[in-house]
């Protein structure tokens, strides 16, 4: 029922395809269909993904390329910085990469952000292909063209918009992904349902077991529907001037927790707690019922995502939300639910409401 291809538009024109596949074997054909043969490739990957998937991908692309190289960095958010970018530029220059050559990101969101940033800046921009291997990258971060690196203590502070030429997903690569990383990806998928699609949210509730057991058709449907939601939002607002901000549901408080925990919790885990806080505010303002709030809590719990946060004071968390770069003229653009499947942006959420919501996840 669900196709294995999504076409993403940029500025109202078809820009690139996302392919949802069971293995890597279609990669060669996908590149040939785009006329990307006889080019040189630099595959950027991290130290974990390298061990599992690099050789297979290089072997598939090698024969149609004019040369293929790889660059591996130490896995983890700590590598997502300008030092790593510099090392990649050095490699590109040493290998004399020019505007016809291609960067390929093989890995999770960290790899995609970093490799995309290199592709967007090297020689003022070269072609870029994404092979996301984490659920977060497949269902969320590989769509929308955001690339970037962290700078000092600031996440994604330096970056650019750069659309890929192709996103190729091998859903089977999720089998080797640590369960904790998988569940963190689910958090953003739940978010997509909550902000835009009540049917999809209901479907997630009904399919928890099949999702957890990595049933292929279930995963495909889940990733497909999640990508379609994100695609629609970013197509309508590519540069985040309006409704794209709805994707920040759960992120105002989530980011603050992430920062205060010194990145010990995964992004998706912090977003899970942040979504409960935002849902609590929706409930207090009379938009969603007690039952609906409890359901959100339950689905987050069912995926082993955190539902509470200890060791941080509410004041402290609130204070950090004030430093978020997504503020507009000193007001926090808070996102909460008007109903399940419908989110709104509101700048009137008060300090007291936020503190009360944070207290709710501390019990
Ligand atoms: P995210 O995708 O959540 O932004 P990362 O890119 O850092 O985060 O990926 C999360 C972790 O999972 C990293 O340690 C990475 O090396 C590892 N990883 C990514 N994809 C896979 C995979 N398919 N199998 C095993 N480990 C993977
Ligand atoms: Zn997020």
Burial of 325 (0-12, 13-18, 19+ CB in 10 A): exposed
pLDDT value at position 240? 83
Report the C-alpha gap between 331 and 324 in whole angstroms.
10
Same domain, 79 and 148: yes
Phi first, then psi: what are they for 18, rounded to 5°?
-110, 125
Is 138's C-beta closer than 6 angstroms to any atom of ligand 1?
no
C-alpha 267 to ligand 2 mean position (Å): 6
Q: Select from 149, 176, 203 the last residue of a domain.
A: 176
pLDDT value at position 75? 98
Same domain, 186 and 171: no
Same domain, 13 and 81: yes
Same domain, 184 and 241: yes
pLDDT single digits (tens) 185-212: 999 999 999 999 999 999 999 999 999 9
**Tokens for 299?**
């689905």
Same domain, 243 and 94: no
Report the C-alpha gap between 80 and 87 in whole angstroms.
12
Residue 257 has pLDDT above 90, yes or no: yes
Same domain, 222 and 127: no
Same domain, 14 and 127: yes
Is 114's C-beta closer than 6 angstroms to any atom of ligand 1?
no
Residue 308 has pLDDT above 80, yes or no: yes
- Known binding-site residues for Zn(2+) equal 188, 251, 267
Domain that holds residue 9: 5-176
Same domain, 155 and 196: no
**Tokens for 344?**
């709104």
Average pLDDT, the chain: 95
Q: Select from 143, 176, 209 the last residue of a domain.
A: 176
Phi first, then psi: what are they for 177, rounded to 5°?
-70, 130
CATH number at residue 72: 3.40.50.1970
> Which residue out of 181, 183, 184 has the highest number of ligand 1 atoms within 8 Å of its CB and is therefore the one to mutate?
181
CATH number at residue 237: 1.20.1090.10
Is 176's C-beta closer than 6 angstroms to any atom of ligand 1?
yes
Lowest mean pLDDT: which of 53-67, 171-185, 329-343? 329-343
Is 115's C-beta closer than 6 angstroms to any atom of ligand 1?
no
- Summarize the confidence of residues 341-352 as an average pLDDT: 95
Q: How many domains does the chain have?
A: 2
Same domain, 51 and 90: yes
C-alpha 250 to ligand 2 mean position (Å): 8
Please name every residue paired with 41 in a beta bridge, in sequence order, or none if there are none.
68, 102
Q: Select from 133, 156, 176 the last residue of a domain.
A: 176
> Which ligand 1 atom minimizes the distance to the CA of 173?
23
* Residues with catalytic function: 124, 146, 188, 230, 240, 244, 248, 251, 255, 267
Same domain, 231 and 140: no
Same domain, 74 and 221: no
pLDDT single digits (tens) 141-166: 889 999 999 999 888 999 999 999 99
Same domain, 27 and 169: yes
């Amino acid at each position: 029922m669900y196709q294995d291809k999504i076409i993403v538009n940029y500025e109202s024109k078809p820009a690139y395809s996302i392919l949802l596949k069971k293995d890597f074997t279609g990669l060669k054909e996908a590149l040939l269909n785009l006329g990307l043969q006889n080019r040189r490739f630099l595959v950027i990957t991290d130290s974990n993904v390298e061990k599992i998937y690099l050789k297979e991908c290089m072997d598939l692309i090698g024969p149609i390329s004019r040369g293929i190289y790889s660059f591996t960095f130490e896995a983890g958010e700590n590598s997502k910085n300008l030092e790593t970018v510099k090392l990649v530029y050095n490699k590109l220059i040493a290998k004399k990469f020019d505007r016809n050559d291609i960067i390929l990101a093989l890995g999770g969101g960290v790899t995609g952000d970093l490799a995309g940033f290199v592709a967007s800046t090297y020689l003022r921009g070269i072609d870029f292909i994404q092979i996301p291997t984490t659920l977060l990258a497949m269902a969320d971060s590989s769509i929308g063209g955001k690339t970037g690196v962290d700078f000092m203590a600031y996440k994604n502070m330096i970056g650019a918009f750069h659309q890929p030429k192709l996103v190729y997903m091998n859903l089977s690569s999720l089998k080797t992904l640590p369960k904790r990383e998988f569940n963190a990806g689910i958090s953003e998928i739940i978010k997509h349902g909550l902000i835009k699609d009540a049917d999809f949210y209901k479907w997630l509730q009904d399919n928890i077991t099949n999702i957890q057991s990595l049933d292929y058709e279930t995963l495909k449907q889940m990733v497909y529907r999640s990508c379609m939601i994100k695609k629609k939002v970013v197509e309508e607002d590519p540069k985040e001037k309006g409704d794209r901000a709805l994707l920040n549901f759960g992120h105002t408080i989530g980011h603050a927790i992430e920062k205060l925990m010194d990145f010990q919790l995964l992004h998706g885990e912090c977003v899970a707690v942040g979504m409960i806080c935002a849902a609590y505010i929706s409930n207090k303002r009379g938009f969603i019922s007690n039952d609906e709030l409890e359901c959100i809590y339950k689905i987050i719990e069912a995926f082993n995502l955190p539902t509470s946060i200890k060791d941080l004071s509410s004041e402290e968390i609130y204070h950090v939300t004030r430093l978020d770069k997504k503020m507009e003229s000193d007001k926090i653009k808070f996102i909460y639910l008007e109903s399940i499947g419908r989110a709104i942006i509101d700048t009137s959420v008060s300090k007291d409401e936020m503190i009360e919501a944070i207290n709710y996840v501390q019990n």
